[in-house]
């Protein structure tokens, strides 16, 4: 039983599929790639039980079989080979790979032992433009948590209805609410997608305009695009009431150049305490003073920026890492920071939205000033 495949095409796909693999799988079979060969169609699958990714490749073959091939060994071999056609021969549980200059043998397992793909029952469907889906993921995922005690926060909340859609991520210290008015559904849709599949989608969804088909039910979702199919288990539980934590009355409004604020915050953070990463924003008139101090090492930084400000003088402390993350994930030249008091959350948003169909609000909790 033989099939022929391009080494670079195979390696490119396996490197993507390899992002699913865990180093400490409970089932030995999950350390393998499943090769499902059906004449000229090869479907390769990797899984960690929670998330499964598969890809289709065209090959030269006349066989129909399923085999599980050790993932690390196969990847290591392919990385060391230049582009060339490879002949794979399967016999007596031994896979032989023939290249231009050599041959390599490794054992494989029966493909029927590999976990079966999830079949969605009573599935609903919604389509996303690939660029829009990438924007959703890039704008929100950095704010999601990774606390095992609060699993509902370790993903992005998808909320779609007839009026539009909202995508929210939070770790209780920061929150992002990303709204689109060009994505809607006649029926109300709500589900939470975990971080791992979203990070994988972020790296493989094509940036050129194409369609991503999303099938989902109460427990699982499937993302289909190009030659890939990603299946993931959805997070079970109720997402926190995010609207309740977004302050509505924010009389103090600051407008400032995003790049300048980002650079100053980054520089100041170098001198901040490594335990709190605290920077202080002190706003008086049309000046924003950014200070950071590490009392343990007598390190201190202070910068003053011009801004447009309407409100009372205020001093408020933030975790510099959160401010930098948020500013890095906004694209507008000017940002708006809305504040009410030193112990209430601040809101960061672009002054001018880059797209009329989107609206983005970022919330950051303050930290008590020393």
What mean pLDDT comes out for the span 57-82? 96
What mean pLDDT comes out for the span 353-369? 91
The CATH number that applies at residue 213 is 3.10.150.10
| 99 found inside a domain | yes
Could you tell me which of 246, 237, 219, 196 has the C-alpha nearest to residue 52? 196
On whether both 150 and 228 belong to a single domain, the answer is yes
Question: H or E stretch including 9?
Answer: helix 7-17
What mean pLDDT comes out for the span 213-241? 96
| 331 found inside a domain | yes
| 164 found inside a domain | yes
Structure tokens at 338: 């809305």
**Alpha-carbon torsion (216, 220, 221, 226), positive or negative:** negative
Could you tell me which of 2, 9, 196, 234 has the C-alpha nearest to residue 118? 234
| 369 found inside a domain | no
Q: Which domain holds residue 35?
A: 2-113
Residues 6+ apart with CB under 8 A from 364: 173, 174, 318, 319, 322, 323, 326, 345, 346, 348
Per-residue pLDDT at 127: 96
Separation between Cα atoms, residue 105 and residue 109, nearest integer Å: 13
pLDDT in tens, 95-132: 999 999 899 999 999 999 999 999 999 899 999 999 99
On whether both 145 and 226 belong to a single domain, the answer is yes
What mean pLDDT comes out for the span 233-256? 96
On whether both 223 and 275 belong to a single domain, the answer is no
Per-residue pLDDT at 26: 85
On whether both 52 and 6 belong to a single domain, the answer is yes
On whether both 233 and 314 belong to a single domain, the answer is no
Structure confidence at residue 328 as a pLDDT band (50, 70, 90): very high
Among candidate residues 85, 113, 141, the one where a domain is terminated:
113
Among candidate residues 196, 225, 240, the one where a domain is terminated:
240
On whether both 145 and 209 belong to a single domain, the answer is yes
Q: Which residues of 311-321 are buried (b: 16+ CB within 10 A; e: fewer)?
A: eeebebbbbbe
| 225 found inside a domain | yes
Residue 254 vs residues 173, 251, 282: alpha-carbon distances, Å: 21, 10, 11
- Return the higher-pLDDT residue of 356 and 47: 47
pLDDT at 370 over 70: no
Per-residue pLDDT at 85: 96
| 177 found inside a domain | no
On whether both 80 and 141 belong to a single domain, the answer is no
Task: Kindly report whether the global pTM for this prediction surpasses the value 0.85.
Answer: yes
The rounded percent of the chain whose pLDDT value lies above 90 is 93
Per-residue pLDDT at 369: 79
Mean pLDDT computed over every residue of the chain: 95
On whether both 272 and 360 belong to a single domain, the answer is yes
On whether both 19 and 100 belong to a single domain, the answer is yes
| 60 found inside a domain | yes
Total tally of structural domains belonging to the chain: 3
On whether both 349 and 265 belong to a single domain, the answer is yes
Point out the least confidently predicted range of 269-278, 287-296, 348-357, 358-367.
348-357
On whether both 154 and 104 belong to a single domain, the answer is no
On whether both 321 and 357 belong to a single domain, the answer is yes
SS3 354: coil
Could you tell me which of 167, 172, 164 has the C-alpha nearest to residue 138? 167
Per-residue pLDDT at 43: 98
The rounded percent of the chain whose pLDDT value lies above 70 is 100
pLDDT at 355 over 90: no
What mean pLDDT comes out for the span 192-207? 95
Phi, psi at 170, each rounded to 5°:
-155, 150
């Amino acid at each position: 039983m033989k099939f022929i495949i391009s080494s670079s095409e195979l390696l490119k796909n396996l490197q993507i599929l390899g992002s699913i693999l865990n180093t400490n799988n409970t089932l030995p079979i999950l350390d393998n790639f499943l090769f499902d060969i059906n004449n000229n169609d090869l479907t390769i699958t990797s899984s960690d039980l929670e998330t499964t990714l598969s890809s289709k490749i065209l090959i030269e073959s006349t066989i129909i079989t399923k085999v599980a091939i050790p993932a690390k060994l196969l990847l290591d071999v392919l990385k060391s080979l230049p582009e060339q056609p490879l002949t794979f021969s399967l016999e007596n549980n031994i896979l032989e790979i023939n290249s231009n200059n050599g041959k390599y043998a490794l054992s494989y397992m029966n493909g029927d032992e590999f976990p079966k793909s999830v079949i969605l029952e009573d599935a609903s469907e919604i389509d996303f433009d690939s660029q829009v889906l990438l924007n959703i993921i890039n704008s929100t995922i950095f704010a999601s948590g990774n606390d095992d005690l609060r699993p509902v926060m370790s993903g992005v909340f998808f909320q779609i209805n007839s009026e539009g859609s909202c995508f929210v991520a939070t770790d209780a210290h920061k929150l992002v609410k990303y709204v689109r008015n060009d994505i809607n559904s006649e029926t109300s849709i709500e589900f939470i997608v975990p971080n791992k599949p979203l990070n994988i989608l972020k790296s493989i969804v094509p940036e050129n305009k194409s369609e991503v088909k999303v099938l989902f039910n109460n427990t699982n979702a499937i993302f289909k695009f190009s030659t890939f199919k990603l299946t993931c288990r959805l997070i079970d539980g109720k997402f926190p009431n995010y609207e309740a934590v977004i302050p509505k009355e924010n009389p103090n409004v600051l407008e400032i150049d995003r790049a300048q604020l980002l650079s100053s915050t980054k520089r100041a953070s170098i001198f901040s305490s490594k335990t709190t990463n605290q920077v202080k924003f002190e706003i008086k008139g049309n000046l924003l003073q950014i200070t950071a101090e590490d009392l343990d090492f007598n390190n201190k930084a202070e910068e003053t920026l011009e801004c447009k400000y309407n409100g009372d003088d205020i001093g408020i402390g933030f975790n510099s890492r959160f401010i930098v993350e948020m500013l890095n994930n906004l694209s507008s030249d000017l940002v708006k920071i809305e504040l009410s008091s030193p112990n209430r959350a601040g809101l960061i948003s672009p002054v001018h939205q880059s797209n009329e169909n989107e609206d983005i609000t970022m919330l950051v909790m303050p930290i008590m000033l020393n």
